[in-house]
Amino acid sequence: MVRKLAAEVGFQLAGVADASPVPHFDRFREWVDRGLAGEMGYLTDHRADLRSDPRSLLPGAKSVIAVGMLYEPANGSGMAGYAAGEDYHAVIRRCLEALAALLAAYGPFDWRACVDTAPLLERSLARQAGLGWIGKNTCLINQQTGSFFLLGELLTTLEITPDSPPPDRCGTCTRCIDACPTAAIVPSPQGGFELDARRCISYFTIELRGEIPVEHRTGIGTNVFGCDICQDVCPWNRRLAQPEPNPAALEELAALSQGEFRSRYRHTAVSRAKYGAFLRNVAIAMGNSGLEMFREPLERLGKSDDPLVAEHAAWGLGRLDGLTR
């Protein structure tokens, strides 16, 4: 019944997990304690321990309905695929609320809708709910659909028979590890692999507010917001056509005023990057493109009143001249 109702409101994947202590919490806590979360304070502050048990967010919860919404890979513009269109947080929340309304027809219950801003170990819960296994790239992978999907959770006081986690099907494959330009997928002391966020392109282009470490700028390539490389190369995503790069889009992005940036991206996930950091990313991408057509835009960004933008534009120009790497 849960899968049927979830499909009616727009989710392609759905399953149920017990609302009980999360199996992978100790692994998460140890990862945080080793500093691999970088400057993502929302993972390391007082909210960190809330992730140990979904009942911290909804007392009396008995079941977690985990859902997945598919999205298409990037369109070649340097933006992660999920950045296209309306902010997925709002979309998934609306659909979760609609799912709760359908379930209410079967009787009253308490619920709470959660997207990735809530302090939940959502991949672990989704794994418990049978949506997929956690791959070496730390993405949740579904055998039928791959990994290009976003997660949401409906915490409920309903007692629903839970699903079971699927087996890990990564096998000996290391394509994601080998393809990561900044070597962000590293062996874990607890076995298997983990993500060192301090080396991840998505972290640099979305979460990090200040300067991007010089030693990692070349590895960012022409990514402007997020990165899908470890998913693009995954054999479980082979059904999806991979887009051709479109570096020309960078010139348009570099010319956006702050007002235009806000207007274009106000209701999208891209707004999370903030204007200055966004132009910082564009400057790095233009430098890494190696294309002379970006010299004038980089020179213009180099005159920015924002020191963050100006410094990265200067680096980009140096890259075009072969002086930086």
Q: For the segment 51-106, what is each residue's pLDDT rounded down to a tens digit?
A: 999 999 999 999 999 999 999 887 777 889 899 889 999 999 999 999 999 999 98
User: Residues 103-150: pLDDT tens digits?
Assistant: 999 889 999 999 998 999 999 999 999 999 999 999 999 999 999 999
Q: Do 98 and 69 contact (CB within 8 A), yes or no?
A: no
Scan for tokens 């794994």, then name that residue. Answer: 127
Q: What is the pLDDT of residue 86?
A: 92
In terms of C-beta density within 10 A (0-12 exposed, 13-18 middle, 19 or more buried), how is residue 239 classed? exposed
Asked if the model's pLDDT at residue 241 lies above 70, the reply is: no
User: What's the pLDDT band for 1 if we cut at 50, 70, 90?
Assistant: confident
Q: Please, what's the b/e burial string for 114-128 (b: 16 or more CB within 10 A of its CB; e: otherwise)? A: bbeebbbbbbbbbbb
**What type of residue is 198?**
R
Distance separating alpha carbons of residues 273 and 164, to the nearest angstrom: 36
Average pLDDT, stretch 296-312? 98
Banded pLDDT at 3 (limits 50, 70, 90): very high
Question: Residue 169 corresponds to which amino acid?
Answer: R
324 pLDDT above the threshold of 70 = no
Whole-model pTM: value is 0.94
* Residue percentage of the chain with pLDDT more than 70: 98
pLDDT of residue 72: 85
Output the pLDDT for position 122: 96
> From residue 300, how far is each of 250, 251, 280, 316 by CA, in Å?
14, 11, 13, 12
pLDDT in tens, 261-283: 999 999 999 999 999 999 999 99
Of 314, 318, 309, 311, nearest to 290 (Cα)?
318
Both tokens of 25, joined, read 């919490």
Q: For the chain, what is the mean pLDDT?
A: 95
Residue extents of the structural domains in the chain: 1-245, 247-325
Topology at the third CATH level for domain 247-325:
Leucine-rich Repeat Variant (1.25.10)
**Active site positions, annotated:** 116
- Asked whether the beta carbons of 153 and 93 are under 8 A apart, the reply is no
Give the mean pLDDT of 31-56: 95
